[in-house]
Amino acid sequence: MTGIALLTVPTADPGDTHAFQVLTESGYRADDLVSVIGKTEGNGCVNDFSRGLAAAIWEPRIPEAAVTVFSGGTEGVLSPHVNLFVRDEKRYPGFDRGLVAAARRSRSLDPAEIGRAAQIDTVTETVAKLLAELGVTPGDVHLVLVKCPLLTSDTITALHTAGQVPVATDTYASMGFSRAASSLGIAVALGECDRETALSALAGEADVWSARASASAGAELDDCHILVVAESPTAANPLRAVHGHMTDAIDLASVQQLLSRIAAEGGTVRQIFAKAEADPTGSVRGLRHTMLTDSDINATRHARGAVGGLLAGLKGDGAVYVSGGAEHQGPPGGGSITVIYELPTPDRNEAP
Amino acid sequence: MTGIALLTVPTADPGDTHAFQVLTESGYRADDLVSVIGKTEGNGCVNDFSRGLAAAIWEPRIPEAAVTVFSGGTEGVLSPHVNLFVRDEKRYPGFDRGLVAAARRSRSLDPAEIGRAAQIDTVTETVAKLLAELGVTPGDVHLVLVKCPLLTSDTITALHTAGQVPVATDTYASMGFSRAASSLGIAVALGECDRETALSALAGEADVWSARASASAGAELDDCHILVVAESPTAANPLRAVHGHMTDAIDLASVQQLLSRIAAEGGTVRQIFAKAEADPTGSVRGLRHTMLTDSDINATRHARGAVGGLLAGLKGDGAVYVSGGAEHQGPPGGGSITVIYELPTPDRNEAP
Amino acid sequence: MTGIALLTVPTADPGDTHAFQVLTESGYRADDLVSVIGKTEGNGCVNDFSRGLAAAIWEPRIPEAAVTVFSGGTEGVLSPHVNLFVRDEKRYPGFDRGLVAAARRSRSLDPAEIGRAAQIDTVTETVAKLLAELGVTPGDVHLVLVKCPLLTSDTITALHTAGQVPVATDTYASMGFSRAASSLGIAVALGECDRETALSALAGEADVWSARASASAGAELDDCHILVVAESPTAANPLRAVHGHMTDAIDLASVQQLLSRIAAEGGTVRQIFAKAEADPTGSVRGLRHTMLTDSDINATRHARGAVGGLLAGLKGDGAVYVSGGAEHQGPPGGGSITVIYELPTPDRNEAP
Amino acid sequence: MTGIALLTVPTADPGDTHAFQVLTESGYRADDLVSVIGKTEGNGCVNDFSRGLAAAIWEPRIPEAAVTVFSGGTEGVLSPHVNLFVRDEKRYPGFDRGLVAAARRSRSLDPAEIGRAAQIDTVTETVAKLLAELGVTPGDVHLVLVKCPLLTSDTITALHTAGQVPVATDTYASMGFSRAASSLGIAVALGECDRETALSALAGEADVWSARASASAGAELDDCHILVVAESPTAANPLRAVHGHMTDAIDLASVQQLLSRIAAEGGTVRQIFAKAEADPTGSVRGLRHTMLTDSDINATRHARGAVGGLLAGLKGDGAVYVSGGAEHQGPPGGGSITVIYELPTPDRNEAP
């Protein structure tokens, strides 16, 4: 088990490491880092070097076993920040359970494997290992975050030269296939569908999704970085999580429902992890959107901007983790959503 | 007085005139049109030809006295549509007041006048004429919508050649100056500030804004198109409006307050007219945003996407009128907001 | 036969019709128009409403039989303009041949046909009719320009709903398939390949291209607009053309060779019609380009900007017709190129 | 004196350090590096993190005294690469002169100084020191490259808070002011104008420019990185340079003239350093361009794409250093240009 604390720290730019100071001031050490989950301010697409810069700065400074996930794109009111998942085994008085988390890198994927069965399997296996490590069951899990590779012009050409067929010849499109495979790998690992169904879904012939999957792709890595967040009786801390999904990009009601559950427990929202996408039908509740016909701004940027506006309004600040491209992460046009919150210390709650 | 009805009709593209059919089916004629206020799907900036296309299609089909205002930019979940303000003098039983509206074009502005005192004065005068026409006082007004010109490379060069100094040498920046002058002209006309203060505000030396002003700029016109919407006892219809402002781009509370007032009257939201902008300080509630440092997507596009996401979530659909660039239209970083709603017919309201 | 004159007229914006005045001043009437081939200043991609605006303005003002082709995208030094192909049957003294041109609309294409065999066949048939009309053989042809439809979110969803499979689910990608089918239809009509090979090429299994094909796609039409330009002894005018291809986007030598042939005849370049594309291998002459990994600017915009810079330098002005997306229009990474030029009047050439 | 060699090495991404291997294979050590001048593949504007990534990777690996200049933007056919200026004191037989280079960082600039007299002076002083170090006179200099800071939302707000006025409130616009001040500082240092005239020019009241200045701005530094390249009899190597300017962005003739001079000497072009900008009048040779009215793509990106297309065509490959924003670096709408070339070894030249 790995009880955790969560620190959310704004960043002045993708290379800003002020968060280490906050870490220290909060009584933790870099060695305690389980995972760094950041929103950086690039385009969130193929040529997003804000992610690469953040990775270049952070990777040498964190433990070997820790993983980074940098998701590009802080459109609109979204604010660049990092979420530090820190090992905190302390047993907070008055709590008999708490959030735990573990992270791992998968093996490297060959470009020919990206967006295909091999990626599904690799993610499934790695998530399974993480569940075992944490000693939790799929039912305890609230969030599985994956950063996975994409195809560039170079890798596509190399595949062609080798007589192999890439999953996509468009680099931006390859991001979607990679996210899809990762998410289906999560769904299999969490027992939400079997491998066969996942393969059908990847082929576009089955509709499967996980409300706990959050995958983003990047050119800055060739393996998968995976973080699992779960609730466990082996820990004792005030952090809790709820998860659910938005049925479309304006599904205020579903989010309010999650927030109401938290409010009912007297909890304080600490962070929202949400996926967003342009509804593939080209409309939301019967009204046309233009995200998929806009050749100036990619659809994932539009989706983050819109859902980010809604969630930042609800959270009261822009340091929300909204990631674009929600293939099999919530229903089509919607997205998975996990809210991490903090319970009040019991003595505050109970009458004397 | 001009009692009005409001029809909001989705458009399939900027040249779509299906709305005329809806007009007819609703019992009105093109001659009844007071104003066509549309959201079109361009970039909302200088080279937005979706506005020009809509204007080219609509202008020849509407009465001489009617005006169009096409605001470009349907980022995120915003959905392209037109709002038809239609003359409807019918006295609806059970109502002793109602919404009225009137529209007018100002004189043409010389490029040297754009963004300057002359534009303030022109807008002030035209709004004053419209108030007189409607027989309403400034206190009755809920919304003044203005479409105003901008500077292009051609007009900037022409000014330079003539030895004149344009208000801005950057075409995109000229939009902001034009919106500012129009908004300050509205503020003067509504008695929210005097002319002198407006001039100081235009020079950046005073902080004045109107919660009822909504101005957008475009290359497709050289005069100002102005619509005034007010409440008046000379009409008798179920339409009403409330106005207010968002203090920042995530100010959910202020919008909810307006919606609560409507709900308290049993009203149904018909349309939201909102302005949005990137907070000029570079942060929202102390957290950095990246709208002003993004050289790929202009700040107004970001702002519409974010505020559009929030308001569409609240309205329940994406056909919201969110316009970018809120200089003197609500406080800096926030924006003016007007909600038009419909009261239930009285017999539904009254206990038997 | 239809002897022609060519007028190239700058435009102040997509809706500018000043060219009609130039037409009149040059002694022609609108009825003489065979085709209007324009470069407009939108993004040249799916949501390019500059094309739609130009079409809305021009279509009602030209003869029923004439066609427009508006190609969006004037990146870099490219300058918006229209090329008017005007019927001019006058027999210019001293010439025994000349350029001829004819234009036609194909039947409307069903969205399911776009980018498929049916589009190839439709273009082939229409080009064949035009050759017959002109009384020329494929060997006489220097240029076949096609404007063809694309798929939007709406048409893609409609196809899915009808249980049909669109050629692409990405709207931008559909432009490439449509251009490909049109270009292969031209190749078949000009006897450059047979239908079977064209179908293989469309499936990516054969490498076929025409140096005389120039196709661009747009949302503003649902049929194909086609113009054929050829040389014929039935006309007698000073216009001539040469065609060839650039082997890549920096193939200065091939263009210089064409220009040298013109110079050798004492000709004056009147217009260059060129296609451009990002090399699909991701590199040009062994050096990586970034057009296909740039998620901010679409590859066709990059390609037009670069090739436009080269050709404008050679022509000496930016009113060059460079169109992006050169599938089967010249070799991969290169593009077809046709230069129309004017011979001097014979008496200038000949010694007394 | 510092005789130099020049290595131009393609990069696979902004963080690629393969160039170190090439350096070693060429017989040099990292300690020999005088300067690394790279083209990286970001947008070349405010939020270009490709520059920041390259700087983060390179800075710790080069000598304290060496400087990096990363210029973002490889639009069109431009290819990402680094130009390594390497100390090479070897006296190549048969040469009695050669290229020399020296580099230095200026003091840090306060945000309030950016784009103002203090920046001019700082650059002037640093260039003067470099000339002294090299023992060359202004007449020997072929190129002065400067990387200088810009203003971000954060620094602009900080200035406002401190009651200071930033040179620009638009972050993108601040880049132009910074480039202008650097270039005028170069002009003063090279004796091309006096300080007073430079100040007038900065205020827009004098037209001064240097054909040897090349300045680019970035968020990744707060001082100025400066490289001077000159010809000197103290060195003996086969490298030479010519400089001149393009009068506009399609000025093929001026470039050909420089290349002819090189060809006349039997030289081989090694690299072209050019500046490019959108003509501020909005037209090139009387024809309108749309770079300044395009709100989707910034003008500097357009300019690099176009001029890059022309120069890559002339050089025969895309690894050309074209930098956008040519304020006072060549005439308005044009740009400075320096070509470094290599003379043949004398024995190849001379008849036996």
| Nearest residue on chain D to A52, alpha-carbon basis | D53
D283 is catalytic: no
CB contacts of C57 in chain B (<8 Å) are: 56
Is B179 flagged in the annotation as binding? Answer: yes
Q: Enumerate neighbours of A (3 or more CB pairs within 8 A).
A: B, C, D
- C98 CA: distance to closest CA in chain A (Å): 41
| Nearest residue on chain C to A287, alpha-carbon basis | C154
Is D97 flagged in the annotation as binding? Answer: no
**Which member of A210, A214, A216, A232 is catalytic?**
A216
Identify the residue whose tokens are 């082997």: C247
Identity of the residue numbered B178: S
- C45 CA: distance to closest CA in chain A (Å): 6
- B:C CB pairs within 8 Å: 45
3-class SS shares of chain A: helix, strand, coil, % to 5: 35, 25, 40
Asked if the Cβ–Cβ distance from D154 to A12 is below 8 Å, we say yes
D147 is catalytic: yes
Q: Tell me the two tokens of residue D108.
A: 């840090």
Contact indicator for D87, D34 with CB cutoff of 8 Å: yes
pLDDT of A305 over the 90 cut: yes
Is C324 flagged in the annotation as binding? Answer: yes
The whole-angstrom separation of Cα D83 and Cα D100 is: 15
Residue B16: closest CA among B44, B50, B48: B50
**Which member of B106, B147, B178, B214 is catalytic?**
B147
- CATH for D238-349, options being 3.40.50.1980, 3.30.70.940, 3.20.20.70, 3.30.1330.160: 3.30.1330.160
pLDDT of A16 over the 60 cut: yes
Structural domain spans, chain B = 236-349
Q: Tell me the two tokens of residue D216.
A: 């680019």
Question: What mean pLDDT is predicted for residues C274-303?
Answer: 97
**Which member of D39, D50, D147, D232 is catalytic?**
D147
> Tens of pLDDT along B65-77?
999 999 999 999 9
Is A26 flagged in the annotation as binding? Answer: no
**pLDDT of the residue at B122:** 98
Contact indicator for B273, B321 with CB cutoff of 8 Å: yes
pLDDT of C216 over the 70 cut: yes
Residue C229: closest CA among C313, C307, C336: C336
Is D331 flagged in the annotation as binding? Answer: yes
> Tens of pLDDT along A67-90?
999 999 999 999 999 999 999 999
The whole-angstrom separation of Cα C181 and Cα C159 is: 19
Distances (CA, A) of C78 to C74, D278, D291, D308, D330: 5, 11, 9, 14, 21
What are the helix (H) ranges across chain A?
18-25, 49-58, 117-134, 153-161, 171-189, 195-202, 252-264, 299-315, 346-349
Question: Of C153, C154, C293, which is closest to A171 when you measure between CB atoms?
Answer: C293
Residue D164 has a CB neighbour count (10 Å cut-off) of 12
Is B274 flagged in the annotation as binding? Answer: no
Identity of the residue numbered A170: D
Q: Enumerate neighbours of D (3 or more CB pairs within 8 A).
A: A, B, C
**pLDDT of the residue at C346:** 83
**pLDDT of the residue at D1:** 61
| Nearest residue on chain D to A53, alpha-carbon basis | D53
The whole-angstrom separation of Cα A148 and Cα A72 is: 13
- CATH for C4-347, options being 3.40.50.261, 3.40.50.2300, 3.40.50.300, 3.30.1330.180: 3.30.1330.180
**Which member of B216, B232, B275, B336 is catalytic?**
B216
**pLDDT of the residue at A173:** 94
pLDDT of B351 over the 70 cut: no
Residues of C engaging A, defined by a Cβ cutoff of 8 Å: 43, 45-48, 152-154, 156-157, 160, 169-173, 219, 280-283, 288-290, 292-296, 298
The whole-angstrom separation of Cα D2 and Cα D32 is: 10
Segment (H or E) for D303: helix D299-315
Asked if the Cβ–Cβ distance from B309 to A309 is below 8 Å, we say yes
Asked if the Cβ–Cβ distance from A41 to B76 is below 8 Å, we say no
Asked if the Cβ–Cβ distance from A287 to B319 is below 8 Å, we say yes
SS3 at position D80: coil
What are the helix (H) ranges across D162-228?
171-189, 195-202
Q: Tell me the two tokens of residue C62.
A: 């030209």
Kindly report the average pLDDT of chain D as a whole number: 96
Bridge partners of D67, per DSSP, are: D35
The whole-angstrom separation of Cα C71 and Cα C335 is: 16
Distances (CA, A) of B61 to A100, B33, B49, B87: 65, 10, 19, 16
Asked if the Cβ–Cβ distance from C52 to B154 is below 8 Å, we say no
Residues of C engaging D, defined by a Cβ cutoff of 8 Å: 10, 12, 41, 43, 74-81, 249-252, 283-291, 293-294, 296-297, 301-303, 305-310, 312-314, 316-319
Asked if the Cβ–Cβ distance from C318 to D78 is below 8 Å, we say no
CB contacts of D251 in chain C (<8 Å) are: 313
Question: What mean pLDDT is predicted for residues B35-45?
Answer: 97
Tell me how many degrees the CA angle C291-C295-C300 measures, rounded to the nearest 5: 45
Sheet strands (E) in chain B: 4-10, 33-40, 67-72, 81-87, 98-105, 141-149, 213-218, 225-232, 239-246, 268-276, 283-284, 287-288, 321-324, 335-342
| Nearest residue on chain A to B299, alpha-carbon basis | A76
pLDDT of C229 over the 50 cut: yes
Q: Tell me the two tokens of residue B120.
A: 């303030």
> Tens of pLDDT along C51-74?
999 999 999 999 999 999 999 999
Asked if the Cβ–Cβ distance from C170 to A173 is below 8 Å, we say yes
> Tens of pLDDT along B147-164?
999 999 899 999 999 999
Identify the residue whose tokens are 């064209």: C198
**pLDDT of the residue at C1:** 60
Contact indicator for D220, D55 with CB cutoff of 8 Å: yes
Identify the residue whose tokens are 């054969």: C206
3-class SS shares of chain C: helix, strand, coil, % to 5: 35, 25, 40
Question: Of D12, D41, D53, which is closest to A56 when you measure between CB atoms?
Answer: D53
**pLDDT of the residue at B206:** 84
Residues 6+ apart with CB under 8 A from C8: C81, C82, C83, C84, C270, C271, C319
pLDDT of A352 over the 60 cut: no
pLDDT of B352 over the 80 cut: no
Identify the residue whose tokens are 């290819």: D79
Q: Tell me the two tokens of residue B163.
A: 């030895």
Residue A308 has a CB neighbour count (10 Å cut-off) of 34
Is A79 flagged in the annotation as binding? Answer: no
Contact indicator for A266, A343 with CB cutoff of 8 Å: yes
Question: What mean pLDDT is predicted for residues A109-132?
Answer: 98
> Tens of pLDDT along D301-334?
999 999 999 999 999 999 999 999 999 999 999 9
Question: What mean pLDDT is predicted for residues B188-198?
Answer: 97
Asked if the Cβ–Cβ distance from A49 to D12 is below 8 Å, we say no
Distances (CA, A) of A240 to A29, A260, A349, C71: 23, 14, 16, 56
Question: Of B12, B306, B314, which is closest to A252 when you measure between CB atoms?
Answer: B314
Residue D309: closest CA among D352, D255, D237: D255
Contact indicator for D306, D253 with CB cutoff of 8 Å: no
- B108 CA: distance to closest CA in chain A (Å): 32
Percent residues over pLDDT 70 in chain B: 98
| Nearest residue on chain B to A78, alpha-carbon basis | B289
Question: What mean pLDDT is predicted for residues C72-82?
Answer: 98
The whole-angstrom separation of Cα A213 and Cα A193 is: 13
CB contacts of A283 in chain B (<8 Å) are: 79
Sheet-wide strand order for B98-105 = B98-105, B225-232, B141-149, B213-218
Give pLDDT < 70 ranges for chain D: 1, 347-352
Contact indicator for A313, A306 with CB cutoff of 8 Å: no
Bridge partners of C103, per DSSP, are: C227
- A45 CA: distance to closest CA in chain D (Å): 12
Distances (CA, A) of D66 to C106, D92, D107: 64, 24, 15
Query: What ipTM is given for this predicted complex?
Result: 0.96
Could you tell me the CATH superfamily of domain B236-349?
Cyanuric acid hydrolase/Barbituras, RU C (3.30.1330.160)
Asked if the Cβ–Cβ distance from C310 to D305 is below 8 Å, we say no
Contact indicator for C327, C279 with CB cutoff of 8 Å: no
Alpha-carbon C124 to chain mean position: 16
3-class SS shares of chain D: helix, strand, coil, % to 5: 35, 25, 40
CB contacts of C172 in chain A (<8 Å) are: 295
- C314 CA: distance to closest CA in chain B (Å): 25
Find the radius of gyration of the CA atoms of chain B.
19
The whole-angstrom separation of Cα C115 and Cα D227 is: 53
Is C217 flagged in the annotation as binding? Answer: yes
CA dihedral D125, D130, D133, D139 (to 10 degrees): -100
